[in-house]
Structure 1
Amino acid sequence: MPDIRRSTKKLNPEQIRKLKAQAEQIDREDAAAIKTQGRAIFAHHERLRDILHALVAERKRQGLSLTDLAERTGIAKSNLSRLENSDNTTPNLDTLERYARAVGKTLRVELTDAA
């Protein structure tokens, strides 16, 4: 195996100061946009999780087990369990539609004018 030579460029204090100043400027300029984007993503995630929580409540109301749901949806029981119990999982629309059909519900996605 050949020797791998790595070179690292040494930065002097002035170069480091300039790079830090540039990073801080980028942070200041982009902070509002990044926060806005993060809030929108979080809101989207929460809407999907709210739908899922309503479906889980309906499954339990009907007395259906995860095994029953797995048979009706074709989704592995372990995946359904992870979906229901992990707040970090974001369900996709296909999964929510399959879940909804399995508990006798219809998921409706509506396109409206933006506010």
Structure 2
Amino acid sequence: MKSIQPALIMMLLAAGTSHALAHEMATDNNSGTIGFQGAIVETSCTTDLKQNQLITSCLRDGNNQVTTSSVSASDHLPPAIGSSEISWLDSTHQRGILIQNYN
């Protein structure tokens, strides 16, 4: 029992110290300003996967631009709209992340 008491006291002190540090860090990071200029005037493109084909639909200036490309293609967006790439998560190319960058 005597060997448990010092360990218990150390755990309680550590818990109290970490709580105080967490509170101090939280109050220091609660300030700041985020500025935004401009407007989002068009929606992002929608992308659907069907049988190893990416079907991307982009509404621009009231016109729907549809692009169909193979998953293995280097780009999946119309060039005037932006670029895209797939980062594969496995060597069999069964799971990946589609990254779209808009102009």
Give the TM-score of the pair, scaled to structure 1. Answer: 0.33
Structure richer in helix, relative to its length: 1
Larger Rg: 2
Structure richer in strand, relative to its length: 2
